[in-house]
Structure 1
Amino acid sequence: MSNRFGVMTYESDIYVKRNWINLGDYVQSTAAKQFLGSVDSLIPRDHMNTYEGDAVKMIMNAWYMDIPENFPPAKSIDPLYVSVHINSTIVDAIFTPAAIAHFKKHEPIGCRDFYTRDLLISKGIDAYYSGCMTLTLGETYKRDNITNDVYFIDVMYDSMTIPELLRKPLRFGKRILNGRAFEFNHRNRVLNKYFHPDLIKNAKFETQIIPYISAQEGFKLADNFLKRLANAKLVVTSRIHTALPCLAMGTPVIFVNGGFKNKVDNCRFDGLFDFFNRIDVDAKGEATANFVFSGDKININTNIKNKDIHLDYARQLVEKCNVFAK
């Protein structure tokens, strides 16, 4: 058995061409990396099939994949499949006989969401719900220097503003036709309903979507991102790979569940939503919260206590990854 380890990266011509990546992908790889004594190979997720280096073990937590035709990975990769997501958009392309045989060889497959678990089971593959590997990030990142920083990260990111839509004319045209062009008003309404104006004014607004970068830079940015989240006063987001690390690190977090109206997003969340303090937003922009807080609106002094439903899943992931990495 190999004592060398590989870590998944997001380097590919398809990302160079589109010139952006989701920092959340490197957050996921950082979660896997923390269990490994060394990292001997950085292996792009969408080109694992062409890997020709030494035999390596890899924790394979990821979305599979932007080039589904390139699955399964090379035989020199010994995988631990946990926190897997297979998106509904690539189901027809990824489940070749070779891919099914590969999954069956390495079953049981730990799945990040119920959708993926049920999909694999329907293909005759032994699968279970594992939760997300980012729930283990509290093993490395600690709340040891808490600040007054409040972060709003990609809140209702699919409800684009008019300037954002003008940069994407095809999407703008579709949203005029389907009545979604002015959904950015929903976001403003939600923020103003639940958060004190001073909190919004002084908060830091950020996005996980960044220009394309190398793997080395991706890991550096993810590390900095996680350190800031670990010591934040409060985080409000619609990104699971911001919200789940916050749960892991004990940072108060509110997940705003709104603006997701396509199958790419909707199949990713089943099994994760119950972990969060949530603000749920319906198609008309009406919002309700599944948690209570003192006062009319959330301010810098409001005490937000995270749920603890995720803890057992995190513990099991830590144990499984530690055994695999020995």
Structure 2
Amino acid sequence: MIDKYGVLTYESDIYVKRDWINLGDYVQSTAAKQFFPTVDAFIPRDHMNAYSGDPVKMIMNAWYMDLPENFPPSPEVNPLYVSIHINSTIAEKIFTPASIEHFKKFAPIGCRDFYTRDMLRSKGIDAYYSGCMTLTLGETYKRENVTDDVYFIDVMYDSMSLPELIKQPLRFGKRILNGRAFEFSHRKKVLSKYFDQELLSKAKFETQILPYISAKEGFKLADDFLKRLATAKLVVTSRIHTALPCLAMGTPVIFVNGGFKNKVDNCRFDGLFDFFNRIDVGDNADSTINFEFRGEKIGLRTEVTNKDIHVSYGQELIAKCKSFAQE
């Protein structure tokens, strides 16, 4: 019986050189961490193959991966594969004979999206749709002491405003060439259509993208972030690892589905979109919604009720992870 536990982190030279992290990665690791009585090893996702400590159990929910040549993980890692995503950008590199054999050994593989499930099945690997591990975060983070705080977190983050584009001249030039330069007004157009000015003026605007930090700092910031989400009046976001924890905790959330123009993003969402109250945005910032609210626009006194499609997936993940931790 293995009685030591590992958790994925994002500490290594590749992340130091890149000099930024997505806090959503530590939100995902926090979701896994909550099921273990202790954490005996913090193991960088892209260097799991180099781990040589005592055997550990690990819940392997993650995006796979920036260095696909470093997969599969060390034999000292006993994995539970749930909520994994294999991105289209590295699909051809990760599926080596050794990796396929590894996945088959630990199948069935729980996938965060239909794209990953279908790709694994095409390789002869038993796979199923599990939903995302962040749907379990209501186990730890309770909706108590609700505030009047409204958060807009990375809304339409790929449809950059003019000040944002000016700070990135190479990207601005590329967008002029590909015809996307005038998207800088899209975000403002969408927000002003659905949210009244009082709410927009009082809302807090944040980002999940942060300068590189250590794992210790990452887990601390993720914990603070989740506590804020749990007490928020409303959250509006285009980040799945903000929106899904809100669903798990019962915080009203609206997912703005717009501005995603690359294959890195688009392959990640199939299977998750139906969980959300959504604002769906087209190429010209034309938009529709899939939920109802009272009044002409959403304001500070508007009641937004989440859907409940996600609930059974969260419950199944909780049961599976508790069983794995206790085996």
Same fold (TM over 0.5): yes
Q: Aligned partners of 1:14, 1:161: CA distance in 2, in Å?
A: 29
1:13-162 equivalences under 5 Å are 13-162=13-162
Q: Deviations over 1:252-297 (max 9, x none)?
A: 0000000001000000000000000000000010011100100000
Distance in 2 separating the partners of 1:191 and 1:163: 17
Alignment correspondent of 1:289: 289
Contact 1:256-1:278 at 8 Å conserved across structures: yes
In structure 2, how many angstroms separate the alpha carbons of the residues matched to 1:188 and 1:162?
11
| C-alpha distance in structure 2 between counterparts of 1:324 and 1:81, whole Å | 11
Given that 1:156 and 1:187 are in contact with CA atoms closer than 8 Å, whether structure 2 keeps it comes out as yes
**Equivalent pair of 2:161/2:187 in contact (CA under 8 Å):** no
Query: After superposition, where does 1:289-308 map in structure 2 within 5 Å?
Result: 289-308=289-308
* Match of residue 200 from structure 2: 200
* Per-residue CA distance 1:50-106 (angstroms, 9 max, x = gap): 001110000000000000000000000000000000000001110000000000000
**1:161 Cα deviation from its structure 2 partner:** 1.7
**1:163 Cα deviation from its structure 2 partner:** 2.7
2: distance between equivalents of 1:162 and 1:100?
Answer: 45
How far does residue 201 in structure 1 lie from its aligned partner after superposition? Answer: 0.2
Gaps of 5+ in 1: none
Match of 1:273 in 2: 273
Q: Which residue of 1 aligns with 2:237?
A: 237
Matched, 1:12 2:43: no
Structure 2 SS opposite 1:279: strand
What percent identity do the matched residue pairs reach? 76
In 2, are the aligned partners of 1:137 and 1:245 still within 8 Å (CA)? yes
Query: Does the aligned pair in 2 maintain the 1:153–1:238 contact within 8 Å?
Result: yes
Measure the CA separation in 2 of the matches of 1:68 and 1:144. Answer: 41
Q: What is the total number of aligned residue pairs between the two structures?
A: 326
Q: Given that residues 146 and 232 in structure 2 are in contact (C-alpha distance below 8 angstroms), is that contact kept between their aligned partners in structure 1?
A: yes
- Equivalences for 1:175-186 in 2 at 5 Å? 175-186=175-186
What displacement does 1:228 show? 0.3
SS class of match (2:32)? helix
SS at match of 2:219: helix
| Cα distance in 2 between the residues matched to 1:236 and 1:161 | 17
Give the TM-score normalised by the residue count of structure 2.
0.99
Shift of 1:169: 2.7
For the residue of structure 1 that corresponds to 2:205, the secondary structure is strand
1:211 matched to 2:203? The reply is no
Query: d(CA) in 2 for partners of 1:99 and 1:170?
Result: 37
Offset at residue 162 of structure 1 (A):
2.3
Query: Are the counterparts in 2 of residues 161 and 182 from structure 1 also a CA contact under 8 Å?
Result: no
The aligned counterpart of 1:321 is: 321
Report the secondary structure of 1:78's partner residue: strand
| Structure 1 residue 182 displacement after superposition | 2.0
Q: Indicate the SS of the match to 2:37.
A: coil
Counterpart in the other structure of 1:253 = 253
Residue identity in the other structure for 2:113: D
SS of 1:280's equivalent?
A: strand
Aligned mates of 1:11, 1:225 — CA distance in 2: 20
For residue 38 of structure 1, give the secondary structure of its aligned residue in structure 2: coil
CA RMSD across the alignment: 0.6
- What displacement does 1:13 show? 0.8
